[in-house]
Copies of this chain bind each other. A is one copy, B any other.
Amino acid sequence: MGVIIVSTYPDAKSISKVAHHMVEKKLAACVNYTKINSVYFWQGKIHDSGEFLALFKTTSKSKQSLKKEIAKTHPYEVPEIAEIKPDDINIPYLKWLQDSTLKGKPKKRHNSSKS
């Protein structure tokens, strides 16, 4: 089954480094990240600061090792590591997730556009 792990990072540099690390170690097949604003309470006042939202795409088989590695490498003391299991995922993409994580070797995915 496909799984999405959600976390947030302080800057592009840290999430880009972690994303490369997870894909190299085949713990995630793909990592999407985007700039966000975050509003939260801390040290007695409200903060409204820039962060990056990260979506790690992996499989149920690799998710535990991925989550451990996210916790180990995360710059925050208390990072968000939330798991969302899609209710369904198309078979070719699921196969690509499986081939690109611990089990098998990566297969081509983006090389040819239909258009």
Contacts and interface: CB of A to CB of B under 8 A. Distances in A.
**Interface footprint category on A:** 35 or more
Interface string A78-98: 111111111111101100100
Contacts of A93: 78-82
A8 B33 CA distance: 12
Prevailing SS type, chain A contact patch: mixed
Interface centre among A30, A31, A39 (most CB of B within 10 A): A39
A90 to B, nearest CB: 4
A54 to B, nearest CB: 10
A28 to B, nearest CB: 8
14 contacts: A12-B37, A14-B115, A16-B37, A19-B37, A20-B46, A30-B38, A30-B39, A31-B40, A34-B35, A41-B100, A78-B92, A78-B96, A81-B90, A83-B87
Interface in A12-26: 12, 14, 16, 19-20, 23-24, 26
